[in-house]
C-alpha cells in the first residue's frame, strides 16, 4: 500500500509543481540594445567577401548539398564575389568574372530589418524595389562576423535549388 501511495505522489508531484509556478509574464520586455545604430553602421560598413557557396537540391529527399565555391572563382584573374556596404546606406556588389550575378544588380540601397535588434540586411535597387535580404549569420561583434545570402531558384511554384553564400568581413 505504501509503494502504491508513493508512486501516486511521485506521479502527481510534477502537476502540483507546475500549478504553483509563476505564469509567463507577457509584459516583460527585452532590455535596451547593447549597441547604437551608429555603432552597428560602423561595424557593417566595409567589404564583405564570399567565403563559401553551397547549392541545396530542394527536390531531393535528403536535400543534397554541393559546394559550388569554385564555380564563382574559376575564371582566370577573377576574385571571389564581394559586397561593400557604405555608411550612406548604399552598397556595391563586385561580381566581375562571375558567370551568375545572384544579386541581380551591382549597386543599390540597404537597410536593417530592425534598427535596434537587426537580424537581416534588406537590399533594394535605386527605385526601392526589394531584391532580397542577407541574414546576419553570427555576432557582428565577434571575431569572425558572417553574413549569409540565400537565393532560391523556383521550378513553377516549387523550390528547385537554394544557393547559400557566406560572406566574411575583410
Domain ranges of the chain: 37-169
Instruction: Name the pTM for this structure.
Output: 0.73
> Distance between CA atoms of 78 and 156, rounded to whole angstroms?
33
Q: CB within 8 A of 152, min separation 6: which ones?
A: 58, 159, 161, 162, 163
Residue 22 is predicted with a pLDDT of: 59
Residue 19 is predicted with a pLDDT of: 60
Fold for domain 37-169?
Lipocalin (2.40.128)
Average pLDDT over residues 53-65: 91
Amino acid at each position: 500500500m505504501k509503494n502504491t501511495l508513493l508512486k501516486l505522489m511521485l506521479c502527481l508531484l510534477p502537476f502540483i509543481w507546475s500549478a504553483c509556478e509563476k505564469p509567463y509574464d507577457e509584459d516583460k520586455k527585452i532590455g535596451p540594445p547593447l549597441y547604437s545604430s551608429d555603432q552597428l553602421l560602423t561595424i557593417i560598413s566595409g567589404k564583405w567577401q564570399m567565403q563559401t557557396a553551397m547549392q541545396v537540391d530542394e527536390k531531393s529527399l535528403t536535400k543534397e548539398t554541393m559546394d559550388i565555391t569554385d564555380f564563382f572563382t574559376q575564371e582566370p584573374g577573377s576574385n571571389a564575389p564581394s559586397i561593400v556596404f557604405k555608411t550612406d546606406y548604399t552598397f556595391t556588389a563586385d561580381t566581375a568574372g562571375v558567370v551568375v550575378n545572384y544579386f541581380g544588380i551591382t549597386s543599390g540601397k540597404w537597410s536593417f530589418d530592425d534598427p535596434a535588434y537587426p537580424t537581416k540586411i534588406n537590399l533594394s535597387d535605386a527605385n526601392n524595389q526589394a531584391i532580397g535580404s542577407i541574414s546576419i549569420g553570427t555576432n557582428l561583434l565577434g571575431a569572425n562576423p558572417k553574413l549569409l545570402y540565400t537565393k532560391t531558384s523556383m521550378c513553377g511554384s516549387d523550390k528547385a535549388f537554394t544557393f547559400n553564400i557566406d560572406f566574411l568581413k575583410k
